[in-house]
Structure 1
Amino acid sequence: MKDRSQPGRTARRSRASKLTALVTAAALVLAPAAVSAQENRGPPLLRDTEIEQLLREYTRPILRAAGLEKQNIQIVIINDPGFNAFVADGRRIFVNYGALMKSETPNQIIGVLAHETGHLAGGHLSKMREQLAQAQTQMIIAMLLGAGAMVAGSRSGPGSGLANAGAAAISGPQEMIRRSLLSYVRQQEENADRAGVKFLTATGQSAKGMYETFKRFTSESLFAARGADPYQQSHPMPAERVAALEELARSSPYWDKKDDPALQLRHDMMRAKTSAFMERQDTVYRRYPLSDNSLPARYAHAIATYLHGDLNSALAQIDGLIHLQPNNAYFYELRGQALLERGKPADAIAPLRKAVQLSNGAPLMEMLLGQALVASDNKAYTDEAITILRAAVAREKEAPIGYTQLAMAYGRKGDYAQADLASAQAAFLRGDNKTARDLASRAKTRFAVGTPGWVKADDIVSARPMPGQKNN
């Protein structure tokens, strides 16, 4: 598991911020300051082949039922321990790793993903933009009318009733418009609940997990919303929402259907892996005590040992896992990652080759193998590293590490034009646009005009920043 965020660990959230918030961009639009701050720093992302593959398998039938299977919807993992999932555009579902950790069964997180798919299928994002545009027009008109009344009132003398009426004409419509927008968002959430249950039923899955997830956090949400005006809530009041969802979910013929034991094991392995990489060592061992000899516990122990303990002990534990499941690509990946990060890249090559083979060429694993080949300092591996890394970045276009390793491989070969281009691509993906333009400009001087490399470099020089990036 890799943290693809900006340098530095995510700050601990307050207790209130960990409350359930299954939200859409519509709700986020109502808090522009928070959105602006996030856009400036970029979302802190986590990447892991094993977890991403499992989430793809969770969402594939849901997307098919929603008619979205050909839309290339991606699941993006956010480096945040809070329970949260949301959609912020029409092609990605964002889910905090905290939501994965706190979902005890596959069905629970699948229910959350079905709810978010309901937002995508309902076109809620584009519809909300229309509502915001209409609200903006209404607000402008209300402000103009109010300002006109205030001007007229000022001519009648200070403290006149007409001036006060003008102020009320501004504040009153604004509050009504805000309440109207919040009401619209609440309706979207209810529609997404219904759509999510529909998709689960269509795929022969229970909606119980979706209900359990909402119900589990009801008491916290009720505490946070105690005394709140229900018309000022962007989501339906929890008790009402959960009651409606329970009635709907229980009407499904699959209400009592259980998750497949093999899928439950994979889910448990995902949670153990997430805990071992993302939580404190003492927390990991409280969750998975040494007396626990289950496969997920052994997975967590092996990862925690490699991160915090003796490498040889970690390798022995990983080898024990491989003995139990000799065709598990993720165990070989873990062995290679442990060796690579402990300064033994040459020893990491063999297990990473096996991981790539067993995973049918997973791009993130290929990048890890390419990194080991480059770090081994053996020039005999240079061409192989370039071939593997080029294949990886062709399929995984938004991972800067692939281009960084590719630049190092080209540099070792003496191909400085390609090295500059790959470095520019890595900088651009990191959001460092000034460095990207400088490197791309230098690359252009090394390529013949009009060649593919020159064209790619020119594209970077003239490119606008990616969404969420600053134009330095």
Structure 2
Amino acid sequence: MPMPSSSPSFLSVVRASGRALARGLCLAAAVALPIQVAMAQEQARKGPSTIRDTEIEALLKDYTRPILKSAGLGQQNVEVVLISERSFNAFVADGKRIFVNTGALVDSTTPNQIIGVLAHETGHIAGGHLARMREQLAGAQTMAIVAMLLAAGGMAAGAAGGMNGRDLGNVGGAAMSAPQELIRRSLLNYQRGEEAAADRSAVKYLDATHQSAKGMLETFQRFQNDQLFISQRVDPYSLSHPMARERIAALEQLAKASPYYEAKDPPALQARHDMMRAKLIGFMERPETVARRYPASDTSMAAQYARAISAYRFGNVNGSVAQIDALIARDPSNPYFYELKGQALLEAGRAGESVAPLRKAVAMTNGAPLIRSMLGQALVQAGNPSYTQEAIRELVQATQRDPNSASAWRSLSLAYGRSGDLANADLAAAQSSFADGEFKLGRELAARARQRFPQGSPGWLQADDLVNFKPPKSAANQQ
């Protein structure tokens, strides 16, 4: 799990997380901040690093399902995407996805704290804030152009009147920057209003689901403490969010008026939250950090989980497997222990040994596509010819449910190749290239696959679709 370092602002509804949104953001920022715009464009072009994990995704889905239903979004297929970023942040970039940093999950000590964050972001989606922000951005662009044209006209008039170059530059610069600063403040003021509206909506959703808003309040209080040392020097009109003290006062009044303010998270949900945090820490942190947070004296299941993950990640596979077996003995009904055992063995080059625990994990999770993909990869890497058809079955089902996994498509291509089915091997390799954004190579492989299939067959039609696929301009320019 790579962890690029940055410190984005907390719960920003307008956050570059894709090329399309980045273009919209750059439009507004270009009014006054061209250097920052260039940096944002480059960061957006590279894209954020995301993390996929069946256990964490299942927990986040359980957190969001009742909130989305209460917001009238239960049928919208809104998903939570996990960003590999240590800072505490969450944001929305469209009406279909809520992005959450790993840092937010690690730093939230109770489910209620992260549920409050998710409720806030749901408020942005339900309120249509992104669409309205785009309208504001479009209006800002128009105002900026008008302001620059007026300023240019003033400079031309000054030149015609005999004003010298230095005075002309000073007047022109002031004429251009003043309207732009007003536009910038107007946009930020609008965004602060949307943040406050999302807070109110979040409390409403939490009330509807009989959950407390105390977690949200605790989170904001934490950020208020971080802000105290600079609050006297901050211009509130230059912030995209309400000042922490104002936000807390408004939220506290709403939260404490709720009959569910003292409601507690169910113990089973708290236990799952603790396991999620331990998993992330085990994967992301150095062994010495894991040992400090989860010393050997801590016999909790979460602590044992973190230590087992850390051991396998840093070379002690046998020790890790022993710890995982101890976890399985404590709770044999947990499918993610079997998944972890299979993953540790697979990544240690012991693919044959990883097959059995991964088969069990697949069966216990009703064929979760990420785990099924790992099983298919293990079956391929084991090198046993008798596994080939099983690998194809598992990987076909995995890619049907999760078609964006490049690694699953690559393993499927290898399995087809071993079976002698070169047409489907090329088609799967093409799909893998497309999932990786390598459109030119993908089209070449699809063209080769098309030649191998009988014309008009299902495989031929799929290959033909890939050959004729037109990638987005921003992606095509990188080929």
Secondary structure of 2:413 counterpart: helix
Q: Which amino acid in 2 is paired with 1:365? A: I
Residue 139, structure 1, aligned to residue 158, structure 2: no
Give the structure 1 partner of residue 43 of structure 2.
38
Q: In the superposition, relative to structure 1, how do residues 26 and 291 fare at CA in structure 2: closer, same or farther (>3 Å)?
A: closer
Give 1:10's match in structure 2, choosing from 3, 28, 34. 3
2: distance between equivalents of 1:297 and 1:468? Answer: 44
Residue 81, structure 1, aligned to residue 70, structure 2: no
Maintained 8 Å contact 1:186/1:236: yes
Residue by residue, what CA displacement relative to the aligned partner does 1:33-65 show, whole Å, maximum 9, x if unpaired?
Answer: 344223321220111000000000000000000
Q: In the superposition, relative to structure 1, how do residues 270 and 466 fare at CA in structure 2: closer, same or farther (>3 Å)?
A: farther
Give the structure 1 partner of residue 199 of structure 2.
193
Give the structure 2 partner of residue 6 of structure 1.
none
Deviation at 1:164? 6.3
Maintained 8 Å contact 1:83/1:99: yes
Secondary structure of 1:67 counterpart: coil
Residue by residue, what CA displacement relative to the aligned partner does 1:201-225 show, whole Å, maximum 9, x if unpaired?
Answer: 1100000001101111222234355
**Which stretch shifts more, 266-275 or 391-400?**
391-400
Deviation at 1:363? 0.5
**Which stretch shifts more, 29-38 or 369-378?**
29-38
Give the structure 2 partner of residue 97 of structure 1.
102
Give 1:458's match in structure 2, choosing from 460, 464, 467. 464
Give 1:233's match in structure 2, choosing from 231, 239, 247. 239
Give the structure 1 partner of residue 385 of structure 2.
379
Q: In the superposition, relative to structure 1, how do residues 462 and 34 fare at CA in structure 2: closer, same or farther (>3 Å)?
A: farther
Secondary structure of 2:342 counterpart: helix
1: distance between equivalents of 2:169 and 2:301? Answer: 73
Secondary structure of 1:25 counterpart: coil
Residue by residue, what CA displacement relative to the aligned partner does 1:133-191 show, whole Å, maximum 9, x if unpaired?
Answer: 11111221222222122212211112498986655443222111111001001111111
5+ residue gaps, structure 2, are 17-21, 30-35
Q: In the superposition, relative to structure 1, how do residues 72 and 466 fare at CA in structure 2: closer, same or farther (>3 Å)?
A: farther
Give the structure 2 partner of residue 114 of structure 1.
119
1: distance between equivalents of 2:44 and 2:471? Answer: 12
Give 1:55's match in structure 2, choosing from 47, 52, 60. 60
Maintained 8 Å contact 1:427/1:433: yes
2: distance between equivalents of 1:466 and 1:410? Answer: 30
5+ residue gaps, structure 1, are 4-8
Give the structure 1 partner of residue 248 of structure 2.
242
Maintained 8 Å contact 1:149/1:163: no
Give the structure 1 partner of residue 331 of structure 2.
325
Give 1:432's match in structure 2, choosing from 412, 434, 438. 438
Maintained 8 Å contact 2:3/2:284: no
1: distance between equivalents of 2:362 and 2:269? Answer: 22
Residue by residue, what CA displacement relative to the aligned partner does 1:314-350 show, whole Å, maximum 9, x if unpaired?
Answer: 2221111111111111011111111111111111111
Deviation at 1:295? 0.8
Q: TM-score, normalised by structure 2?
A: 0.92
Secondary structure of 1:95 counterpart: strand
Give 2:217's match in structure 1, choosing from 195, 211, 222. 211
Q: Which amino acid in 2 is paired with 1:123? A: G
Percent identity of equivalent pairs: 56
Give 2:159's match in structure 1, choosing from 141, 154, 157. 154
1: distance between equivalents of 2:86 and 2:129? Answer: 26
